[in-house]
Chains A and B, each alone.
Chain A
Amino acid sequence: MNFHAIRAIYIYEMARTRRTLLQSIVSPVLSTSLYFVVFGSAIGSRISHVGGVSYGAFIVPGLIMLGLLTQSISNASFGIFFPRFVGTIYEILSAPVSAVEIVTAYVGAAATKSVILGLITLATAAIFVRMPIIHPLWMLAFLVLTSITFSMFGFVIGIWANNFEKLQLIPLLVVTPLTFLGGSFYSIDMLPPLWRDITLFNPVVYLISGFRWSFYGISDVGVAISLGMTLVFLAACLALVIWIFRTGYRLKT
């Protein structure tokens, strides 16, 4: 195992994060505050409680997940896309590093940043609403697992994309809509039966549901199913990454 390489890539990527630290912190704090103003005040005045939890507190796990998913994908996809774009990928391809080491370093750095941002969002939310965290360890587990999974998904997108437009395509057109429709701001039990059944095909439902359970002990689907779906998605991303490095897809000619 080339631990020096993992460490070097990780430090390099985290340094890139530090350079944009202000923007990294201000952005989630501002967007969380805006969501509370728009959703918490406007909708919260009509829906006081969902499943026994105040509406303001109810949307917190969904808000954190929204940021977590988009940040994880964005960080990891940019991390590997940029060296491909400017050509410095040659150094990684010619270095004595395995696919596992490369992915560990890039995904590790992206997931670290996402977890930090998730915790910042949580701290911001705590200013607006009081919320219990019934299962703090499970909350952290879901936070870390989702960050890793979607960072890996972002890594795949960063390798697949051959221009900046494609880099934004899936996060904007797929992930964000799925997150909004995945029960971030409502319980899927509030939907008509047909839409509720259709929503169950949205993988983000399971992530948000499991995460919300760790806060309030309430969930749209069973927590074991949520965990299982998260692990299935993680395994799928892992399989894709392994295939990419075995075939050299978009990396080697």
Chain B
Amino acid sequence: MSPIISISHLAKTYAGGKTALRDISLDIRRGEIFALLGPNGAGKTTLISIVCGIVTPSAGTIFADGHDIVRDYRAARERIGLVPQELTVEAFETVWATVNLSRGLFGKPPNPALIEKVLRDLSLWDRKASQIRTLSGGMKRRVMIAKALSHEPRILFLDEPTAGVDVELRRDMWQLVRHLRASGTTIILTTHYLEEAEEMADRIGVIDKGELILVEDKPALMRKLGKKRLTLALAAPLAQIPAALAAYPLTLSPNKEELIYAYGENGARPGIGALLADLVKAGIVVKDLRTDESSLEDIFVGLIRRTP
């Protein structure tokens, strides 16, 4: 199946000389949730803004659902919805007016029934006649999502969708995103909340200093870069690790009461059974054990540190 977005050798240098993106090539698969991670100023918003037509690229090509975003911008843009990072709303307009404006802008005829459904799905129906300035921050964020969904886009960009929203709304949004994906919408989100990417994404891209340093299926990424740790609580403190166990990457805790076994990076086989058997042979008694694994956040921080 052809990718729904195909970015090829994209670069952006701003008029002031700042290079925001360097030779980015990326395909987004149809129907997936793609999370774009990166620190502040990495180029995430610039990348999204170029695809949506807000920023002009310096080099490279982008196709959205087979349409060149420059030469065939009408067909490309009508397939795309954008929820920007900033809460940019016209304070004195009503929810109903602003969402209907969005639908019209994207070339769709008025459809009150659809707008009603969108507003109901986002718990905004009761506030449809309210001026936006009277809404809470979370409600305003929902209005922006409603605007982006009003023209039934096939591709939805969510730029930091849950920045500054409370836990309940964040959960609601995750549910909404899953629902959209189930209905066939492709979703590209940027986030600082790695928990969000870990919870929702099918694939993850990491961007840093304008370069795409990694694109991977989330489970594969976790498998490849994720580390696991087995901590063995000993019945009696151990002065040092016996030579018979030298083949294992073991470390002794500072209080000498725990043995720590790190494994799992690059999909390595743990061999825990063999370790436990060798511990018994060495006369070491284990009274308890626990395992931990690295989160996406640990992986992300590790990746960013590796880039020069």
Contact = CB atoms under 8 A, between A and B. Distances in A.
Interface stretch (A1-9, A146-154, A192-200): A1-9
B105 A252 contact: no
Interface in B124-138: none
A86 B64 CA distance: 28
A253 B15 CA distance: 8
A52 interface: no
A138 interface: no
A88 to B, nearest CB: 5
A8 B55 contact: no
A11 to B, nearest CB: 8
Nearest to A87: B88
A96 B107 contact: yes
A228 interface: no
A90 B107 contact: no
Taking each of B53, B88, B97, B104, which has the highest tally of chain A beta carbons within 10 Å of its own beta carbon?
A: B104
B77 A95 contact: yes
Taking each of B56, B77, B105, which has the highest tally of chain A beta carbons within 10 Å of its own beta carbon?
A: B105
B101 A8 contact: yes
A97 interface: yes
From DSSP, what is the main secondary structure of chain B's interface residues? Answer: loop
Contacts of A86: 88-91
B86 interface: yes
A243 interface: no
Contacts of B248: none
A2 B107 CA distance: 6
Q: How large is the interface on A (under 10, 10 to 19, 20 to 34, 35 or more residues)?
A: 20 to 34
Nearest to A3: B107
B93 to A, nearest CB: 8
B56 A90 contact: no
A252 B56 contact: yes
A61 B100 CA distance: 39
Given A94-B80, A252-B54, A87 B86 contact: yes
Interface in A138-196: none
A19 B104 contact: no
From DSSP, what is the main secondary structure of chain A's interface residues? Answer: helix
A42 interface: no
A93 B53 contact: yes
A248 B56 contact: yes
B97 to A, nearest CB: 6
Nearest to B91: A86
Taking each of A7, A9, A96, which has the highest tally of chain B beta carbons within 10 Å of its own beta carbon?
A: A96
B17 interface: no
Interface residues of B, number: 35
Given A86-B89, A86-B90, A8 B77 contact: no
A15 interface: yes
A90 B91 contact: no
A86 B92 CA distance: 12
A168 B63 CA distance: 42
A251 B108 CA distance: 24
B242 to A, nearest CB: 64
Contacts of B78: 96
Taking each of A15, A16, A94, A248, which has the highest tally of chain B beta carbons within 10 Å of its own beta carbon?
A: A94
Given A88-B89, A91-B147, A253-B55, A4 B80 contact: no
Nearest to B88: A87
A83 interface: yes
Contacts of A5: 104-107
A128 interface: no
A98 B55 CA distance: 16
A96 B106 contact: yes
A12 B92 CA distance: 12
A88 B82 CA distance: 12
Contact of B97 (A4, A15, A97): A15
Contact of A4 (B14, B86, B104): B104
24 contacts: A5-B104, A7-B104, A8-B101, A9-B101, A9-B105, A19-B92, A86-B89, A87-B84, A88-B90, A90-B54, A91-B82, A91-B105, A91-B147, A93-B54, A95-B77, A96-B73, A96-B74, A96-B77, A96-B78, A97-B107, A248-B56, A252-B55, A252-B56, A253-B14
Interface of B: 14-15, 52-56, 73-78, 80, 82, 84, 86, 88-93, 97, 100-109, 147
Given A90-B52, A94-B82, 12 more contacts: A5-B104, A8-B101, A8-B105, A86-B88, A87-B86, A87-B88, A91-B102, A94-B52, A95-B107, A96-B76, A96-B107, A248-B56
